Structure 1
Amino acid sequence: MLSWVDGQPAELLSVKDRGLAYGDGLFETIAVKAGQPTLLERHLARLAEGCARLRMPVELPVVRAQVLAFSQQLGEGVVKLILTRGDGQRGYAVPQPAKPRLILQASAKPAYPAAHAEHGVRLFPCVTRLAEQPVLAGLKHLNRLEQVLARSEWHDAEHAEGLMLDTSGRVIEGVYSNLLLVSAGVLMTADLSRCGVAGVMRAELLAQADAQGIECQVRDISYAELLAADEVMLCNSVYGIWPVRALLAHGWPVGPLTRKLQAITRDLLDC
């Protein structure tokens, strides 16, 4: 597997890396098409926001240059970008000065069934809840234990994704996707100021929809509102959009706005 550490081909890391010890870092999952990373500026903007909140230095021009060069070498597939605070000694205290470590890993594009995008997927109702932590909300930080636990709740092929609520019962997202719904022509997605991951595809779709005059709302969404929606969909930066057709005994049709937004993601990702 193609991998770089700080711009050089490598497969080994120091055991002192704070990403391993404490989850002290951030990551981005970037689709690569014809040697070009898709939605790169959105990925870098989220990375910069994460570094600012974690008070971790980052040289974005260096990150950009390495991702571009790595993507050229990869050609087609997925790049996982991991930025840790680098090596540290025992204890939580941040090393001064910190020397962040940039890790790039390549993988093939996942072979998801075409039926997921065409006919929709069934959601698993996860019991694991997302804790409210505003300082980390929206960030793609390295601690994903809530998602690991949620994904361990189902093992069948019938469910392609899981629905995650927060500890107050609000609808937040999928285990590895953002959730959007349509009600009376309005495109809605959850407020992620308390928890959840602010996906780059979610941001792109909201911007595209707004540019086309589609009313968009980012707000708290109750479970009852989800069930009453006209259309429900999932999105992420690798597969684009999957319609949601069922959750337990409840079902939704694949609606016109879902299809319209899918066309946008196909142009971006060829999916």
Structure 2
Amino acid sequence: MPTSLGISVGTSGVGSALRVDTETGSTTEYRRLAADSDRSRELGDLVFDAVSLMCAHLADRPVVNVAYRTDEQAETVRLAAEREGRHVRLVPETAAMLAFLRTVGLRSEAGTVAIADLGATGTTVSVLDQSTGTVLRSARTEEVSGNALGTRIYERVLRSTSTMRTRRRIDSELLAARCQGAQEVLTTADVARIDIAEAGPDASVTLTRADLHELSADLADTAAAFTRRICTGSTPHPRTLALVGGAAGVPALADAIAGAFDGDTMRVAEPAS
């Protein structure tokens, strides 16, 4: 029963996907470990926390592939692998993305493809040669990110609690986590409820898809203009754009970028993974 484990390294944490091939087909299990806010554990250590978590029930060690964005991330993982006495295969993030996209329908053809990665701390748009996987152009902006939108949601919810009579001080970290959960819910639902336990068991703030759209409107405009500039400035122009990263699940951001791109847009089922 062949197995392989893919690890994606990011600023906000580590995503992992365990693929198991059987006679009846293959299954993939996704998990995510968030980075410690106090950075008590290094990114490389977090990678092997994920490896241990995903492989605890396996009889054999799987092949482990780690996708990295920067040389610094690669070195951090390499040093952690030496400490753990484990072998991992380090893969540039763009190469990993291209390989993944081909498993979900991207045609392998001549020309270029663009990938817009809307992550926790910024948005990166890369244009790759389809045949070789070579990155022809890549740029990053920190103006559009999941964290930027998350901060706006948190501040909106916190303002809504100002008229509540709370029994104790609101836990900011817990509220931020609940706001993050609401943001994820609103990628598919119209309404999300955020419990305010400090104000009583029934106290809550309701956030709607319309609220999310309002809070992300200017971020969407910025993301669209940034993506258009990178793609139109590349030769040849990419004919397909793929949206990945956690913030790609935000409808307003994804719709604005797709609308600004002159070509086909791919949206994947698990953009954060």
On whether the aligned pair clears a TM of 0.5, the verdict is: no
Q: TM-score, normalised by structure 2?
A: 0.25
Q: Please report the TM-score for the alignment, with normalisation by the length of structure 1.
A: 0.26
Q: Which has the higher contact order (CA 8 A, sep 6+)?
A: 1
